[in-house]
Amino acid sequence: MPCSRADVRIRSMELERQHTDNVNATFRQPVKKFPFATANANTTANSAVDNPNTCRYCGISHGRGKEHCPAYGKICKSCGTANHFARVCMKSKRKEGKVHSMETNTDEGNDSTEDVHSSECIGAVRAKGQKWCVTLLLNNKPQQCQLDSGVTCNVMSLIDKRGLAPRDKLTQSSTKLKLYSGQFMTSLGLFVTECVLRGQKYTLEFEIVEASQQPLLSGSTCERLGLINFTIPADLNIIDKVQAGPLSKETLLSKYHDVFNAPVESVPGEAHFELDAAIQPVQCAPRNVPVAMKAATKAQLDKYKADGHIISVTEPTDWISNMVIIKKPDKLRICIDPKHLNRALRRSHYIMPTLEDVLYKLPKARVFTLVDARDGFLQCKLDEPSSYMTTFWTPWGRKRWLKLPFGVSVAPEVYQRKQHELLMGLSGVEPIADDILVVGCGDSDEEAECDHDVKLLALMVRCRQVKLRLSIKKLQFKVPEVRFHGHILSSTGLKADPEKVKAVLEMPHPSDVKGVQRFVGFVTYLAKFLPRLSEVCEPLRRLMDKDTIWHWLPKHDAAVREIKQLVTQTPVEKECLSIVFACQRFHHYLYGRDNITAETDHKPLIAIFSKPLLNAPKRLQSMLLALQNYNLKVVCKPGPEMYVSDTLSRATASGTHTRSMHEQHTVCKKITKNLCKKALREGKDAWKAILQWRNTPTEGMDSKPGTVPHGMALKSSSASSQHSPGAMCGDRRAGEATSQKTGLRQISKRLT
C-alpha cells in the first residue's frame, strides 16, 4: 500500500512537469514588437551589439532573414544610408558632440556649466527642421555658423577650429557642457578669434568640442552682431526682482537713473492731426517780442532746437500761428496760439479719466507715490504732415514743432491716449494727464508697502522700455497722503484739498451776477463733501436767473456764511458721530448682541472702521473707542435706498430725551466756539454773545435757559464790573458769584 501511494505521487509530479513544459513551449514563439525608442543612439547601438538575439539593423528580436527585419529598405535619419534605423546607427557614436547650449549655471567650484542637448532633439522640436545660418569671416576665412537664440555660449568643433587656425593654441577653459539628458561634456578649450561682419570687426569666443557639426552662435552674440533683434511687447509686464527689505528713494533713483535724468526722448509711435477740409488755412501776421525777453526767448528756442523739439522752416506752409511766451519760475515755456488751427482740427474723441474713475480701484490703499512725466507733451512725436500744421512765427524765422506743442486743442486727448497705451497692463498705476499715481494696498502697512514696491518697480521698467522720462523734482515717494487733481488721497479716504477750502473762505462776497456764478461754480467743485449744498445755494441761484434784477439781501449773506461753514466742517466726523449717537441711544437693545450692522451712505467711513484704532485720525479715535462696546459692522448703502433714516433726518421731531454729560459738554463747547468766532468776525463782544445765548430759550434744547453742564458753568462774577446783574439772570447756581478767576479767556482756553 505505501508503495502504490508513492507511485501515484511520482506519476502526478511527472504529469505536472510535462504540462508546464508544454505551456512554456507555446509562449516561447518569437513575437514581432516595435518598442518606442527613448534611449539615445549610443545606448541602443551598444545593446544591439552586446545582445546576440537582437538585430543590429533594427534593434529588436525577430526571425532570421532580411524579410523579417523592419529596417530593410528604410533610410537612416542619422547618416542617410539605407537598411538600418538611426537608433542603432554606428556612425552616431561619433556624433555625441552635437550639442546646443541652453543656459549657464555655476557649480560649487570655479567651473561654469552649460546646459546642452543633442541636435536631434532640436530638430524634432523645430518646425520642418529649419536652421538659421550666416556666413562670417573668422580669422579672414569664410565660415558658416548656425544661429541659436537658446545658446548661452558659442560652440565650435575641433575640426572647424583646425581649419580656421591650425597653429593657434586653445586657452584653458573651465566650462562644462551639460547634455539635455543630464550628462556632462568637458570643453577642450577656449578659442578666441576675430570676426568681420558688414565691415565691422568683433572678437568672439568659442568653446571647442569634439563634434562634426557647424559652429553655433549664442543668443547674446547674435544680438551683439545685429543678427537678432530682441524686443519686449509693451503689454508684457517684466519687473526686476524685488530687493530684500523696503525700497528706498535713493535706491530707486540710483537704479533707474536714466528714467529720471536722461534727456527727453520720443516715446514709441507718432501723433497725427486730422483737418476739416471745409476750413481754409490761415497764415497769421507775426507779433513782436518785447525787447527785454528776446535774449531769453532766443536761448529757449535754441535749446528746443538742440533737443529736437522744433526745427526751422524755409518752404511754404499752409498754416502759420503766432508764438506765445509763458514765464515760469525757472524758465520760459514756448507755446503757440493756434486759434484758427483749433477750429479746423477734428477731435479724436477720447474719454478723459476723472478722479471718480480711479477711486474705486483703490481698496485698502495705504501708501502712495506720485510721479510726473517730464515735459510730457514734448515726449510725443508728430508725424510730418501734422508737424507742418504747427508752424509758428519767431523773430528769427519760422519754426515748426516736431513734438506735441502746447496750445493745440486736441493735444490733451492725444497725450492721454498715448499715456494709456504706454502704461497698459500695469496694476495699481493710474495716469491722469502727466501725473502718474502708484498705490500700495494691503491689510497692513507692511503688506501695502511691499505691494507698492512691486508696482513701482514695474512702472520703472516700463518707463525704461518705452523711454518715458520722469521728473525728479516732482517725485512724491511713499507718502501717507497725496494731493491728486484737486483732492487729498489718504489711507482714511478722500478729502477736500485745504488750498481749495482756504480759497473759498477767503473769497469775498459777490457783488454782481458774475461773482455769484464764480462763487457757486467753485463751491460746486466741493459738492461731494458738502451736505445740503443745493438747499443752501438756492437763494444764490435765484440771483443768476435771467430776468432777476440784482438785489443783495441779508439772506444771501447768510447763505454765503453757511456755505463757508460747511466747507470748514469735516463730514466724516459727523457721519461717525451719528453712529455713536445711535448706539448710545439704543444701548439697552444693542449691548451684548452679535453682528450689529450699521448702514451709512458715506464710503470713507468704511475704510476708517476697517483700520486699527491707532491708525484712525485722532479726532475720530474717541468716537471709535466709544463704539468698542458693540460688535459693530459698518456697511455702505446708497442714500436713496435708506428710506426711513433718510426721511427722518430731514424731518426730525423735538427730542424729549436727556443728553448725557459728555453730549452736553460737546454741544456746549461747539456752540460757544462758534459764537466767539461769529462775534469776533462781526466786531461784537463775544462775552455778550455767550450770555445772550445762555439766557435765551431754544427749541429742542434739553437744558433750561441759563443751565449749562456741570464744570462748564459761566461765572458771573468775572463780568460783574462790565455787565449789570440783570443780565445774568437764569439758573441760580450759574448766577452766584463764587469765583473771581473764571473769565472769557479761561473759558475759551478750556473750550479749545
Q: Clarify whether residues 306 and 426 are in a common domain.
A: yes
Strand, coil or helix: 110: coil
My answer on whether 453 and 340 are in the same domain is yes
Residue 621 grid cell: 479715535
Enclosing H/E stretch for 411: helix 411-422
Amino acid at position 551, single letter: H
Domain end point (choices 568, 603, 631): 568
Reading phi first (left if > 0) and then psi (alpha if -120 to 50, else beta), residue 25 is in alpha
Q: Please indicate, yes or no, if residue 334 is contained in any of the structural domains.
A: yes
**Is residue 250 in some structural domain?**
no
Residue 199 sits in a domain whose CATH number is 2.40.70.10
Give all strands (DSSP E) within 547-664, no chain letters.
Answer: 596-600, 632-636
Same domain for 195 and 275, yes or no, is no
What's the confidence (pLDDT) of residue 632?
A: 84
Structural domain contains residue 367: yes
User: Is the separation of the CB atoms in 744 and 730 below 8 Å?
Assistant: no
- Kindly provide the b/e burial profile for residues 196-232, where b requires at least 16 CB atoms within 10 angstroms of the residue's own CB: eeeeeeeebebbbbebebebbbbbebbeebebbeeee
Structural domain includes residue 48: yes
Number of domains in the chain: 7
418 and 563 both lie in a single domain? no
Pairing of strands 141-147, 189-197: unpaired
- Here the cell at position 346 is 477734428
- Residues 375, 296: one domain? yes
Do 312 and 336 lie in a common domain? Answer: yes
Same domain? 283 vs 346: yes
Contact 313/391 with Cβ under 8 angstroms?
yes
Q: What angle separates helix 554-568 from helix 498-505, to the nearest 10 degrees?
A: 160
User: Nearest-5° angle of CA 240, CA 242, CA 244?
Assistant: 150
Is residue 13 a part of any domain in this protein? Answer: yes
Residue 706 lies inside a defined structural domain of this protein: yes
473 and 502 in a single domain? The answer is: no
Handedness of CA 64, 70, 72, 75 (dihedral sign): negative
Q: Report, as ranges of residue numbers, the positions in the chain whose pLDDT lies below 50.
A: 1-2, 26-27, 29-50, 94-128, 234-235, 237, 239-242, 648, 651-656, 699-752
> Alpha-carbon distance 552 to 554, whole Å?
7
555 and 535 in one domain?
yes
Crossing angle for the helix pair 661-682 and 686-694, to the nearest 10 degrees: 140
Task: Count how many residues are written for the chain.
Answer: 752
Whether 130 and 45 map to the same domain: the answer is: no
Domain boundary among 653, 679, 696: 653
Angle at 488 between CA 524 and CA 521, to 5 degrees: 15
Q: Which residues, at least 6 apart from 249, have a Cβ–Cβ distance to it below 8 Å? A: 475, 477, 478
Residues 88 and 120 grouped into a single domain: no
- Distance between CA 598 and CA 587 in Å, rounded? 14
Q: Is residue 240 part of a domain?
A: no
What are the CA-CA distances from residue 625 to residues 570, 593, 607 (Å)? 19, 18, 16
DSSP assigned state of 56:
T
Given a contact cutoff of 8 angstroms between Cβ atoms, the answer to whether 430 and 361 are in contact is yes
Give domain status of residue 253, yes or no: no
Residue after which a domain boundary falls, among 224, 253, 284:
224
Per-residue pLDDT, 337: 87
What is the distance between the alpha carbons of residues 69 and 61, in angstroms, rounded to a whole number? 9
Question: Residue 129 belongs to what domain range?
Answer: 96-224
652 and 731 Cβ atoms separated by less than 8 Å: no
pLDDT tens, position by position, 73-97: 777 877 777 888 877 887 665 444 4
Give the span between the Cα atoms of 659 and 667, in whole angstroms: 10
Q: Which residues contact 12 (CB under 8 A, 6 or more apart)?
A: none
pLDDT tens digit sequence for 564-611: 777 766 555 667 778 888 888 787 778 778 788 888 877 777 777 777
518 and 413, same structural domain? Answer: no
- CATH number, position 519: 3.30.70.270
pTM, rounded to two decimals:
0.46
Give me the phi and psi of 438, to 5 degrees please: -115, 125
